[in-house]
Chains A and B, each alone.
Chain A
């Protein structure tokens, strides 16, 4: 297994702060904005975004966690069903600006399921997408991020692994090749 470092802790921190500033430019005081992390990995990234946003704005910003397992289009096409993670939506999304947050945008199928899941909690005024890594030329649905950390060229046989200090012991993004 070949392993290439895409982002180290310092670059990742700069990127997180840049994404937060872009959000602050567009979302005023965040009173009408709701952050939602896609479970399981997107929620770790979303927690970091929230933490930095709260640091910069000095305000408490609510965060929801959304699991899309029951909305996936590959149910009964896998050998075993996926086990669902917790959904925790402590707010209403009706007429709100929702920012869906995921770590890696690959085929777009998870996000497609995410839109379905989100609409079961109300009708937001707007939905935007924030991703840390976009894998280029691999989309199977017409989905593009509004806020992006970095786009990378990858092969289908490769894997992007995002690690966080709180779960894996260090902040980093790796590209693994078989």
Chain B
């Protein structure tokens, strides 16, 4: 039996995690994956922990995934969504959270539209904070589950060629994945229209960039397709969805032309027929639903490892 713990108290950014931290999360997730495939898919580890899921921005799968992970660990949970709350009456973030923490909450899972909201909270609140997506900044648990799914499929991340294709500009998934994959030794190529890739990334030395989906596919072992985030686009960055699909979208004909096995990933939700066609999203090589299953196991690992650092008061 070994003792090991994460080097961080919160999970705010994938940047804060060391390679050893990520490997510990993966090893723990392996065991939770076995747990969630048992007849009784629940363990009692977090039975005296209360988790608040604060979703200031819409979410379906991340919220469900965290909720399931918390329930499988026997945590008590409270859910909050911004619509219909006092936030719409003008309450500040810190007041909202402090009010919730006054009810003796140990951990906060938060999604917020402002980049940096979780780090701000971690400096002003005593609870453990897990970032479930902050604006276009980061989505660390998604990066972890994506890397975990790639490792599961390919065995090793070192030297694996991963193309992230689509709306990089608005994607917190892209940023977290880029950092996580580079930490783990994978090679990353970003692919999309020039208008959908941040200028600093275009100029980053050593980072592979392509504006041609076919070229990216010929290069990669794994194609991670990102959603075109129509709701975040105030200015028109490409002419139309139809044109985007034609020039940058993944379809069966393109994959057949490339003619090699490529693992297809998508963090969801999918705009079918825009960034990816149904015959690719549901076709051979896709691990999209494995990503969803692994999401629960990886989030259980993160919750378990962070909760392990919250000492029971009289046990010190």
Chain A positions near chain B (C-beta within 8 angstroms): 40, 67, 69-71, 75-89, 116, 119-122
Q: Are B39 and A83 in contact (CB under 8 A)?
A: no
Residues from chain A with a CB closer than 8 A to the CB of B96 are none
Q: Does B253 contact A (CB under 8 A)?
A: no
Residues B263-316 near A (CB distance < 8 A): 304-305, 307-312, 315
Residues from chain A with a CB closer than 8 A to the CB of B311 are 76-77
Q: Does B102 contact A (CB under 8 A)?
A: no
Residues from chain A with a CB closer than 8 A to the CB of B305 are 81
Residues from chain A with a CB closer than 8 A to the CB of B31 are 67, 69-70, 84-87
Supplied contacts A70-B31, A87-B35, 19 more A-B pairs, CB within 8 Å: A70-B43, A71-B43, A76-B307, A77-B311, A78-B308, A79-B3, A79-B5, A81-B4, A81-B305, A82-B3, A83-B1, A83-B2, A83-B28, A84-B31, A89-B38, A116-B44, A119-B40, A121-B39, A122-B39
A143–B251 alpha-carbon span in the complex (Å): 62
Q: Are A83 and B3 in contact (CB under 8 A)?
A: yes
Q: Does B63 contact A (CB under 8 A)?
A: no
- The one of A40, A67, A75, A119 in contact with B45, judged by C-beta atoms closer than 8 angstroms, is A75
Given A71-B44, A76-B308, the answer on whether A82 and B2 have CB atoms closer than 8 Å is yes
Question: In angstroms, how far is the closest chain A Cβ from the Cβ of B29?
Answer: 10
Q: Does B194 contact A (CB under 8 A)?
A: no
Residues from chain A with a CB closer than 8 A to the CB of B4 are 80-81, 83
Q: List 22 A-B contacts (CB under 8 A).
A: A69-B1, A69-B31, A71-B44, A75-B45, A76-B48, A76-B308, A76-B311, A77-B311, A77-B315, A80-B3, A81-B3, A81-B5, A81-B304, A81-B308, A81-B309, A85-B1, A87-B31, A120-B39, A120-B40, A120-B43, A121-B39, A122-B39
Residue of B nearest to A40 (CB): B1
Majority DSSP secondary structure for residues of B touching A: loop
Question: In angstroms, how far is the closest chain A Cβ from the Cβ of B24?
Answer: 7
Q: Are A87 and B34 in contact (CB under 8 A)?
A: yes
Q: Does B42 contact A (CB under 8 A)?
A: yes
Q: Does B154 contact A (CB under 8 A)?
A: no
Q: Are B315 and A80 in contact (CB under 8 A)?
A: no
Q: Does B232 contact A (CB under 8 A)?
A: no
Question: In angstroms, how far is the closest chain B Cβ from the Cβ of A14?
Answer: 29
A69–B31 alpha-carbon span in the complex (Å): 10
Q: Are B27 and A83 in contact (CB under 8 A)?
A: yes
Residues from chain A with a CB closer than 8 A to the CB of B44 are 70-71, 116
> Which 9 pairs of residues, A with B, have the shortest CB-CB distance?
A81-B308, A70-B43, A80-B5, A80-B3, A84-B31, A120-B40, A77-B315, A83-B2, A70-B45
Residues from chain B with a CB closer than 8 A to the CB of A70 are 31, 35, 43-45, 304
Q: Are A84 and B28 in contact (CB under 8 A)?
A: yes
Most chain A CB within 10 A, of B30, B31, B305, B311, is at B31
- The one of B3, B24, B40 in contact with A78, judged by C-beta atoms closer than 8 angstroms, is B3
Question: In angstroms, how far is the closest chain A Cβ from the Cβ of B183?
Answer: 20
Question: In angstroms, how far is the closest chain A Cβ from the Cβ of B148?
Answer: 16
Question: In angstroms, how far is the closest chain A Cβ from the Cβ of B115?
Answer: 31
A23–B93 alpha-carbon span in the complex (Å): 63
Residues from chain B with a CB closer than 8 A to the CB of A78 are 3, 308
A13–B308 alpha-carbon span in the complex (Å): 40
Question: In angstroms, how far is the closest chain A Cβ from the Cβ of B118?
Answer: 23
Q: Are A76 and B304 in contact (CB under 8 A)?
A: no
Question: In angstroms, how far is the closest chain A Cβ from the Cβ of B4?
Answer: 5
Residues B9-56 near A (CB distance < 8 A): 24, 27-28, 30-31, 34-35, 38-40, 42-45, 48
Q: Are B39 and A80 in contact (CB under 8 A)?
A: no
Residue of A nearest to B308 (CB): A81
A121–B28 alpha-carbon span in the complex (Å): 20
Residue of A nearest to B49 (CB): A76
Residues from chain A with a CB closer than 8 A to the CB of B45 are 70-71, 75
Residues from chain B with a CB closer than 8 A to the CB of A86 are 30-31, 34
Q: Are A76 and B2 in contact (CB under 8 A)?
A: no
Question: In angstroms, how far is the closest chain A Cβ from the Cβ of B258?
Answer: 38
Q: Are B40 and A76 in contact (CB under 8 A)?
A: no
Residues from chain B with a CB closer than 8 A to the CB of A67 are 31
Residue of B nearest to A41 (CB): B1
